[in-house]
Amino acid sequence: MSTVLDSIIEGVREDLARRKISPAELQEQISRAPTPRDAYAALAQPGMNIIAEVKRSSPSKGDLAPITDPASLAERYEFAGASVISVLTEERRFKGSIADFEAVRARVDLPLLRKDFVITEYQARESRAIGADLQLLIVAALSQSELKDFYDLSYELGMKVLVEVHNEEELERALEINAQIIGVNARNLKTLDVDPGAFAHMLPRIPVGHLKVAESGIALRSEVEAIEDLGGNAILVGETLVKAGDPATGISMLLGR
């Protein structure tokens, strides 16, 4: 039976087929990309760090905000104290684009996370070509060999990797490749259900020495405090911030500033 994740990946493959350029052209873009910024250092700063997301829509909630100027929103995130900015580039379910990412890259100095469903080597290289400093790899979407290959390639290209897990089996796979930044997503990408106990269950299982990121469903200061108590280093937040009206107020509320 097809899952939501299967459907998203099918669309990603179709969109990728339309925009692919030759290996030589892609390599030329990589050679001209800006020097990678250190996303690991940004997320390893003392206290709780926030990855603030430019996010128009989601498969679970539909349209969230009419973001006409993603670069302006990213600048407001940067000014408000975000450590990293995430930009959705998946087109169908999240209404993002590579153009959004490139617009943000041209206007902010923070490390950028390319948020997409990376399922091919081409996309892994494409992330660096558009100026990504941090790349998302979702364990549930990849075989173990793909996960390791794309992880290693990302580092070879100068990027760091946020390896996303949902359960203990996926965490074991992330640890097998020695993932340095591990994200626990409370939302099941196959059903879109959110598990309110996911962070309490999974974050303590990530060994010391790995950066721990909590993803999805974070809207309250009390939730952020609980994540910090569980050893979390960072939170990834999109919906709460884009619906807040004033991103600075949203970030200040979540971080208790």
The full set of domain ranges for the chain reads 4-255
pLDDT value for 242: 87
Please identify which of the residues 126, 170, 215, 228 carries the catalytic annotation.
215
Tell me how far CA of residue 28 lies from CA of 22, 98, 131, in angstroms: 10, 17, 13
Q: Which CATH number fits domain 4-255: 3.30.420.40, 3.40.640.10, 3.40.109.10, 3.20.20.70?
A: 3.20.20.70
Please identify which of the residues 115, 127, 154, 233 carries the catalytic annotation.
115
216 assigned to active site: yes
53 assigned to active site: yes
Q: What is the pLDDT along the chain (257 residues), one digit of tens a residue?
A: 678 899 999 999 999 999 999 999 999 999 999 999 999 999 999 999 999 999 888 888 777 888 889 999 999 999 999 999 999 999 988 999 999 999 999 999 999 999 999 999 999 999 999 999 999 999 999 999 999 999 999 999 999 999 999 999 999 999 999 999 999 999 988 888 889 899 999 999 999 999 999 999 999 999 999 999 999 999 999 889 988 888 889 999 999 98
Please identify which of the residues 49, 83, 216, 233 carries the catalytic annotation.
216
248 phi and psi angles, rounded to 5 deg: -65, -40
pLDDT value for 191: 86
215 assigned to active site: yes
Task: Return the H-helix or E-strand segment holding 103.
Answer: helix 98-105
Please identify which of the residues 126, 164, 228, 239 carries the catalytic annotation.
164
Please identify which of the residues 49, 97, 185, 233 carries the catalytic annotation.
185
185 assigned to active site: yes
pLDDT value for 124: 97
pLDDT value for 172: 98
Distance CA 206, CA 99 (A): 35
Tell me how far CA of residue 20 lies from CA of 14, 150, 173, in angstroms: 10, 18, 30
Q: Which amino acid is at 98?
A: I
126 assigned to active site: no
Q: What is the pTM of this model?
A: 0.95
